[in-house]
Amino acid sequence: MTDQKLEFIDGQLKALFNIVVQLINTHPDPAALKSDSVEEEVDEATLVDGQLPAEAFLDGMNDINQKLMLAIEAAIARRGAGSK
C-alpha cells in the first residue's frame, strides 16, 4: 500500500472518529454509552476469516477504543458540570 493510500485511509478514519465523538457529545445519556461500549477483548467480530488479525490491527482498534472511552468520559463530565 502506498503512503498516499495510507494517508487517505487515515483521513477517512479521522473523519469517522470525529463524527462518533459528535454523536457521543450529543447523546442524551453518555453514561449509558460507557456501559454499552465495546469490550477491548478480541471476540468473534474481530476475527478476519476466522483468524486473528495482525497485531497492528489490534493495536489500532485498542487505540480508537481508548480514545472513544476518553470522549465518553469527557461528555459525562461536561453533562455533570452542566447539571450543577
Which residues are registered as beta bridge partners of 51? 48
Residues 6-54: tens digit of each pLDDT = 999 999 999 999 999 999 999 999 988 887 555 545 565 666 677 878 8
Helical spans, DSSP H, in 27-54: 30-35
Cα Rg of the chain, angstroms:
16
Q: What is the pLDDT of residues 42-62, one digit of tens each?
A: 565 666 677 878 888 888 888
Helix pair angle (3-26, 55-82), 10° resolution: 30
Amino acid identity, residue 37?
S
- For residue 31, CA distances in Å to 11, 64, 68, 83 come to 28, 18, 13, 14
pLDDT of 18 reads 96
State the pTM of this model.
0.75
